[in-house]
Amino acid sequence: MSDDDGIIELQTRIAFQDGAIQELSDVIARQQRAIDGLQQEVEELRQQLRALQPSEVEGGSEPPPPHY
């Protein structure tokens, strides 16, 4: 293998690695957007659950019926 062949091989590897790095970066960015969306949904669900739970003021101090 000549020096030129070695340089071409290294350039090819670098080009492949650059492509792989960009692809991984894109995947990470998509995953982060998905995580952000899921965190927002979880927070919204928490707020909805809090709104649905009867407060102690509304329900008084009576325990719930036995079928609960």
Whether 31 is in a domain gets the answer yes
How many domains does one find in the chain? Answer: 1
Distance (Å, whole) CA 40 – CA 46: 10
Domain that holds residue 35: 23-47
Q: What is the pLDDT of residue 61?
A: 64
Whether 10 is in a domain gets the answer no
Cα separations (Å) of 57 from 24, 41, 42, 62, 67? 52, 28, 26, 11, 22
Whether 6 is in a domain gets the answer no
Distance (Å, whole) CA 68 – CA 58: 17
Whether 52 is in a domain gets the answer no
Q: Kindly report the length of the chain.
A: 68
Distance (Å, whole) CA 9 – CA 1: 10
Whether 30 is in a domain gets the answer yes
pLDDT per residue, tens digit, the chain (68 aa), is 788 999 999 999 999 999 999 999 999 999 999 999 999 999 999 999 999 977 655 555 677 778 86
Whether 29 is in a domain gets the answer yes
**pTM over the 0.85 mark:** no
